[in-house]
Amino acid sequence: GFYPNASAIPPDLRRNATENAWNAFLNFTGCHAGMKVDGLYKIKQYFQHFGYIPQTLPGNFSDDFDDILKNAVEMYQRNFKLNITGELDELTLQRVVIPRCGVPDVVNGTSTMLNGGRRRTYEVSFSGTSQRFHAVKR
Amino acid sequence: YSFFPGEPRWPERRRNLTYAFEPQNNLAEEVKSVFSRAFVRWAEVIPLTFRRVESFSTSDISIGFYTGEHGDREPFDGFMGTLAHAFSPPTGHFHLDGAENWIVSGEDGDGFLTERAAVDLESVAVHEIGHLLGLGHSSVQDSIMFPTISTGRRKVDLHSDDVEGVQYLYGSNPNFNGSRTPTPATEQRDTGSGNSG
């Protein structure tokens, strides 16, 4: 639905944010490598959808917190500048459940978020008189 | 900022782009005007123009609201979750999840809407147009190209990170004097090591 402003949304149509399907992931708070938790396969599917787990892997994941998930969590934490714990800690999951764009963050195993989508090096020099910065793309 | 692999962009001969809306959506003029405002934000900083046309099948950029599976094998997931997606140049497909509550007024005052179960349409539109132009996601939280947007949040002003990224692809709009950029980059990038992640 389209609404001119928030107050125009009919009360009976107001659905609170807890209806976000991803909010169920908050139940995984504290999960870490070595654990097995019912439904953990769903968060692996989430990470695969956004590129953190390769598309080449079949989507019938187990509920094990294995190295695949640990690597995905670490890459996610790196991209979103969270503490890299490799665990599904509270701050990480609070970020995971926020609505987002459907375009993957990781393409073919390369993060597009941390300068990974491009490869550039610079030849840097400073002009003594003007103090202007020069950079040459290589 | 980042780019899609291979740094795809609209070619030199296609810098005056057209956009059209899915006819079956029957969008009100007020909704269409939200996208017009979003295109202007990017056009202010790069030498590209965006013109609305009626022909959905021949426009450079096609905009539509859909639910569930809608033909690109990237089904939407209903209320919240994934809000929209767009394709890299020169595909021009821009799809939004029709299951969301979209706020179209563009009014907020302090950057935050009161409704926690609604999404500001212009904020999402500005982000997805960034993808249409060739930008990937950014790890700079205040940038338009950061992947997440909280419900009730309105974020429509290009960050210097967004401006630098899109101007790398297309150069600067001759009329752009830099004053449009509302927020400075807060981090240093390009330290020379190239790839990361």
The 10s digit of each residue's pLDDT in A36-80 is 999 999 999 999 999 999 988 888 899 999 999 999 999 999 999
Best CA proximity match to B27, nearest among B57, B56, B49, B68: B56
Per residue of chain B (197 residues), what is the pLDDT tens digit? 999 999 999 999 999 999 999 999 999 999 999 999 999 999 999 999 999 999 999 999 999 999 999 999 899 998 889 999 999 999 999 999 999 999 998 765 445 555 667 899 999 999 999 999 999 999 999 999 999 988 778 999 999 999 999 999 999 998 887 765 444 443 333 322 322 22
Residues of A (11-70) whose Cβ lies below 8 Å from B: 13-17, 19-22, 50
Chain B interface includes A113 (CB < 8 A): yes
- Asked whether the beta carbons of residue A113 and residue B85 sit closer than 8 angstroms, the reply is no
Rounded to a whole number of angstroms, the distance from the CA of A9 to the nearest CA of chain B is 8
Residue A111: is its pLDDT beyond 60? yes
Residue A130 has pLDDT above 60, yes or no: no
Tell me the two tokens of residue A68: 């695949």
**Cα–Cα distance between A49 and A51 in angstroms, integer?**
6
The Cα B107–Cα B123 span in angstroms is 12
Separation of alpha carbons A48 and A46, rounded Å: 5
- Determine the residue of chain B that is closest to A102 in CA distance: B85
Average pLDDT over residues A107-111: 80
**Do the chains contact at B7 and A78, CB–CB below 8 Å?**
no
Residues with Cβ < 8 Å from A127, sequence gap 6 or more? A134
For position B9, what pLDDT does the model report?
A: 97
**Nearest-by-CA chain A residue for B84:** A101
SS3 B126: helix
Chain B touched by A138 (CB under 8 Å): no
Smallest CA–CA distance from A52 into chain B, residue: B197
In this complex, is the C-beta atom of B188 within 8 Å of any C-beta atom belonging to chain A?
no
Report d(CA A64, CA A87) in Å as an integer.
13
User: Which pLDDT band, with edges at 50, 70 and 90, does A110 fall under?
Assistant: confident
Which residues of chain B form beta strands (DSSP E)?
Answer: 16-21, 49-52, 61-66, 82-86, 93-97, 102-103, 119-120
Give the lowest-confidence range in A2-16, A30-44, A105-119.
A105-119
Is the Cβ of B111 closer than 8 Å to some Cβ of chain A? no
